[in-house]
Amino acid sequence: MKHKDYKKEYMKDWRYKFWYCVLRPKFIVENFIFKLKMERVNKIEALAKYAHESWSGWMVYLFDKCVMNEDGSATLPKDSVDRWQRQMNTSYQELSENEKKSDRVEAHRILYVIEDRRD
């Protein structure tokens, strides 16, 4: 019996038709959806990891700028407070070119995480 004939005979079997026409496509779609969900979960975890590392790095920088008080509190220098308040109250379009460059670097880092690059 040739391969084509065998397949024709096999297709007559209702169990094969049910698997091939109903269950198999459903399985393929469900598997694809599961992979998409896992990719999303992985990206969320990668972004959360990045967010924590970014925040942690900022805290190191911030405390490095501070004067540590005897009671354990920290005092920020006035020039840093003034600069950060000005920046937080300024739209991106109105920032200086150096400040925009800093934000672009951060945006590139986030894109690397989203695009799953290892650079």
Same domain, 3 and 58: yes
Same domain, 86 and 107: yes
pLDDT of 77 higher than 50: yes
**What is the tally of structural domains in the chain?**
2
Same domain, 3 and 59: yes
Whole-prediction pTM: 0.65
Mind listing the pLDDT tens digit for each residue in 16-34? 767 767 777 777 778 888 8
Mind listing the pLDDT tens digit for each residue in 42-71? 889 999 999 999 999 999 999 999 999 999
The Cα–Cα gap between 25 and 84 comes to 56
- Does some domain include residue 71? no
Domain membership of residue 101 as a residue range:
77-119
- Does some domain include residue 33? yes
- Does some domain include residue 87? yes
Q: DSSP 3-state assignment of 77?
A: coil
Average pLDDT value for residue range 85-93: 96
